[in-house]
Amino acid sequence: DGGITQSPKYLFRKEGQNVTLSCEQNLNHDAMYWYRQDPGQGLRLIYYSQIVNDFQKGDIAEGYSVSREKKESFPLTVTSAQKNPTAFYLCASSIRTGRFHEQYFGPGTRLTVT
Amino acid sequence: AQSVSQHNHHVILSEAASLELGCNYSYGGTVNLFWYVQYPGQHLQLLLKYFSGDPLVKGIKGFEAEFIKSKFSFNLRKPSVQWSDTAEYFCASPPGETGGYQKVTFGTGTKLQVIP
């Protein structure tokens, strides 16, 4: 089955520790995205990548870092600099539909930092 | 830049009631809009999309949305909801050439609760 895998589903960390969230896709999509979902705030774009070895900051990139060494993988690191890291994180990839890109989402990782 | 807003944060309906969820967009050139749905414990999935042409768009599971340019709206509708429609619904402006990837925006979401 083609799709997007995020692991783990739940993640717990102590404050001050960096943590890396995994995102893998086997859809052969070029573009990948990371969003953060908070209650009442919808989805906010953290980082996106259009091709391998290239990525761009989204609206709330501070305290996060990414890499895109392989087409299939787009891991997100939540650093200790992120002031409010507890959230639900969604990874997505997209395929071109005409002039626009239709996004497919993973199941998400819920990160809790105490 | 195009942005979207949803004003209903939580809607509670009885089964068989009609549904209309509001989505307004700010003008930013070419208008392209999506509705996504997130069922409890499941992936966010595309419900329907509007790029151009017929302003009445049909989606999956009996949903439809109407693009009304004069009102800057793209409201989601369903004539008769079922308990299985309980979910969170997001209006979004998709990434693409004209908007650029960084312009993708989601509304704050509307939680729909359908009571049997």
Segment B76-104, tens digit of pLDDT: 999 999 999 999 999 998 766 544 555 57
Alpha-carbon distance of A71 to B28, in angstroms, equals 31
Is the pLDDT reported for residue B113 higher than 90? yes
Residue B51: its pLDDT value, please?
Answer: 82
Q: Which long-range contacts (CB under 8 A, 24 or more apart) does A48-57 make?
A: A48/B95, A48/B101, A48/B102, A48/B104, A49/A74, A50/B101, A56/B101, A56/B102
Q: Which residue numbers of A have CB closer than 8 Å to B's CBs?
A: 4, 31, 33, 35, 40-45, 48, 50, 56, 58-59, 90, 92, 94, 97-103, 105-108
Mean pLDDT of B8-35: 90
Tell me if B95 and A41 make a contact (CB, 8 A cut-off): no
With CA atoms as reference, report the closest residue to B44 among B109, B115, B113, B116. B109
Compare A96 and A90 and report the one with higher pLDDT: A90
More confident residue, A113 or A99: A113
Residue A74 near residue A34 (C-beta atoms within 8 A):
yes
Chain CA centroid to CA A36, Å: 8
Q: Decide: residue B81, CB within 10 A, 0-12 exposed, 13-18 middle, 19+ buried.
A: buried
**What mean pLDDT value characterizes chain B?**
88
Higher pLDDT, A44 or A1: A44
Rg (CA), chain A: 13
Type of residue numbered B2:
Q
Structure tokens at A110: 């819920």
Would you state the pLDDT for residue B53? 85
Residue A34: name the closest of A1, A73, A82 by CA: A73
With beta carbons under 8 A apart, name residues in chain A contacting B109: 40, 42
pLDDT at A96 over 90: no
Residue A39 is predicted with a pLDDT of 85
Predicted pLDDT at B39 = 94
% chain A with pLDDT above 90: 74
pLDDT value at position A97? 66
> Residue A42: which of B94, B95, B108 has the nearest Cβ?
B108
Q: pLDDT digits over B31-74, tens only? A: 788 999 999 988 899 899 888 889 999 999 999 999 998 999 99
Q: Determine the Cα–Cα distance for residues A50 and B96; give it in Å rounded to an integer.
A: 11
Q: Report the alpha-carbon distance of residue A40 to residue A88 in Å, rounded.
A: 12
